[in-house]
Structure formats: C-alpha cells, structure tokens
C-alpha cells in the first residue's frame, strides 16, 4: 500500500487551540457546557481530515478481478449521488453534497464501492470544491487509465449559508472532464443521465 501510516492529526494541539479560541471570544472554557468541547472538536477533526493520511490511488490499484475482457466493458460507467462532506479551507466550515462520477473504461474497471472511497478520501482534507472536483478526476484518470472521465459535484457550503451573504438555498456545481468526455456532446448526454436521478 502506498498510503502513509503516520497519523498527521495532533489532537492535543487541536484541544489547546480550541481552548484558546473559546477564551478569545470571551467564553469560559471550564464551564460545564464547554469543558468537553476541545476534546470533541479534536475527535471530529480526526474524521474530517482523515484523508490526509490516505492515498486515493490505493482504491484503484490493479486487481485481476477487475481486469475486464472486451465483452465485459461497458461504453460508460456512471455512479450518481455519492454523498460526501468536506471542510472548506477558507473558513474550516463544512460543505456537503453529492458527486457524480462517470468513466469510459479502456481495459480496466473497478468495484463500484471503490469510487465513493476515492471521493471520501479526497473530501476528507481541507478543500475547495473546485480542486476536489479536479482531484477526483485526476485520480480516476491516473488510477484506471480510462478513455474518458467526467466528475460533477453539487454542494451546499456553510460559509455561504450561515455567514456572509447567508444564501440558505444556493448550491455550487463544479465539473471536471478528461479524455473523450471533454467533448460537449458526450458531456451533455451524461448530464441528462445524472439529471434522471431526480425524476
């Protein structure tokens, strides 16, 4: 496995930082409602940022089980509505949404359960939605060497819904494509298929 075995999360430092933040806003970190908050936040951060220690390509590694014969190859593999959550690196507030992943196999396919793992790994880091979309597409292109890749993400950002402009009903949509799925007609056909999830 290429993934790191070193846990980058220093929970003691997170707890100390949260104590300082609570004091900085004028709160008493020792009061009953807050005394466990630093520990809880440190624990949640180990989950939010767990992808820092994992290589997403590990989930797309070669396997004889998924080296397909020509008769087993589909024109397109599309997995819709992969739920994820990530943390916006600008405000460390969550953004939550769904990813839709499509690829056209060349000679390899992968178990469908591996695709959400790739998304979760890359989402479990300080992120920007635009970069997350590109990183998922790059991982699939590198890991599977398909003829084409299309990734579409639709997400709601807490930094938009709960602060600043407070647009509670807005969502952001980003797209990344590679290979033959950069063609507008091919992309349009897949977008219709993705839209069918709402019917």
Residues with catalytic roles:
88-91, 129, 157, 159
Q: List C-alpha distances in Å: 32 to 18, 20, 29, 45, 51.
A: 15, 17, 8, 22, 32
Beta-strand relationship, 126-127 and 77-88? parallel
Residue 194 DSSP one-character state: H
Residue of 186, 160, 173, 40 lying closest to 93 (CA atoms): 160
Tell me the longest C-alpha to C-alpha distance in the chain: 66
Q: Using an 8 Å Cβ cutoff, are 144 and 108 in contact?
A: yes
Q: List C-alpha distances in Å: 43 to 2, 14, 76, 136.
A: 25, 9, 40, 26
């Amino acid at each position: 496995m290429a993934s790191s075995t070193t846990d980058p999360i220093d929970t003691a430092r997170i707890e100390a930082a949260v104590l300082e933040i609570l004091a900085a806003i004028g709160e008493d970190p020792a009061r009953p409602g807050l005394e466990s908050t630093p520990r809880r936040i440190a624990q949640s951060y180990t989950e939010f940022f767990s992808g820092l220690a994992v290589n997403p390509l590990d989930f797309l590694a070669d396997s004889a089980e998924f080296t397909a014969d020509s008769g087993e190859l589909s024109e397109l593999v599309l997995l819709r509505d992969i739920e994820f959550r990530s943390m916006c690196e600008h405000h460390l507030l969550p953004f939550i949404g769904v990813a839709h992943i499509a690829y056209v196999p060349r000679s390899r396919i992968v178990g469908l359960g591996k695709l959400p793992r790739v998304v979760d790994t890359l989402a479990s880091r300080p992120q920007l939605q635009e970069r997350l979309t590109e990183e998922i597409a790059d991982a699939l292109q590198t890991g599977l060497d398909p003829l084409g890749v299309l990734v579409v993400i639709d997400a709601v950002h807490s930094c938009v819904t709960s602060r600043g402009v407070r647009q509670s009903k807005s969502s952001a949509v980003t797209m990344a494509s590679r290979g033959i799925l950069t063609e507008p007609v091919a992309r349009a056909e897949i977008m219709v298929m993705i839209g069918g999830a709402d019917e």
